[in-house]
Amino acid sequence: MKKFICLLAMVCVPLMSMTSAVQAKESVKKSPKELSLMLEWFINPDHGPIIIAQENGYFKDQGLDVTIQEPADPNLPPKLVAAGDVDLAVYYQPSLTHGVAAGLPLAWAGTLVATPLDGIIVLDESPIKSLKDMKGKTIGTNINGTEAAVLDTLFKPYGFTSEDVKLVNVGWNMSSSLMSGRVDATMGAYRNFELNQLAIEDHKARMFFYEENGIPPYDELIFIANKKKHDKKAIRKFLRAIELGTQFIVNNPQKAWEIFRDSSPKKLDNDLNKRAWFDTVSRFALRPAAKDTGRYNRYAAFLKETGQLKKVPEAKTYMLDL
């Protein structure tokens, strides 16, 4: 009997040790990976897939604990990513190309909004019926440095340049400047927001879309990571959750709106956000991890041709292979 007990102990003790080791390993596996995400602006319908992924538990299902942050300064996201202070940030394709060309250690890490949102807006009642009617007019803007290149491209078919219009920096007063007649048109405003804002104010408007008038199509909003320091496996999981969030929105736009709205009703429950939400659904990237180096190279070449870049960085050098 003593021999049997000793033999049993010899077998059981290792088994118990193995069981404890497996349990400890499983416990480590179940610990969620922490990931920090900095938005480019305050939460709005453009961030739909992110919020739905958070609210529906898709990040959690992927083993991620994602912290979503709003920037105090819109210029902060790329700086924080470059410094390694946040894992991911929402950013703009054109700005990423500029940043990489300037030597910042940034990389494309997925796509959020896969079409341009910008364009030139005029009121429906305006005598401007075509871009050729823009000559001599006043354009309100809130950006600096790229207007001339964009306008030169838009106006080239009609025989004039950005020198033939007057640019006025109106800051964020896009809609009010247009409604008051201070400017004849605006650029730098989003089609899913400003057009709706004007409609709410009983001012019907229309937009001349960049991508239909000589500007190469680009991704309005993307995810960026530090080129040298990033967790590719975690990014893949993050994008899988974003993909699931996008699918849910496309399949259930009304229900998704309600989930998005209820995530922060004081900030999000208003007519403008609701209208913008449904106008943004078709803009989200259905395959956020899919990369198109040709698309990025074409837009970079456009920036060089219009004098915005001296050297074109090859897309394959700053787009992560996911």
Which of 166, 186, 212 is where one domain is finished?
Answer: 212
- Is-contact 81 106, C-beta < 8 A? yes
In a domain, 288, yes or no: yes
Asked if residue 250 and residue 195 are part of one domain, the reply reads no
What pLDDT is recorded for position 60? 98
Stretch 115-139: mean pLDDT, rounded? 97
**Whether residue 289 has pLDDT greater than 60:** yes
pLDDT of residue 18: 54
Same domain, 56 and 202: no
- Asked if residue 98 and residue 230 are part of one domain, the reply reads yes
Ramachandran category for residue 316: left, alpha or beta (phi over 0 → left; psi -120 to 50 → alpha): alpha
Q: Which of 101, 92, 183 is nearest to 141 (CA)?
A: 183
Q: For position 56, which CATH number holds?
A: 3.40.190.10
The reply to whether 191 and 133 lie within a common domain is: yes
Per-residue pLDDT tens over the stretch 36-63: 999 999 999 999 999 999 999 999 999 9
For the chain, how many structural domains are there in total? 2
pLDDT in tens, 217-246: 999 999 999 999 999 999 999 999 999 999
- Domain of 49 in residue numbering reads as 32-115+218-317
Cα angle at 289 between 284 and 292, to 5 degrees? 90
- pLDDT value, residue 2: 56
The answer to whether residues 181 and 147 touch, using CB atoms and an 8 Å cutoff, is no
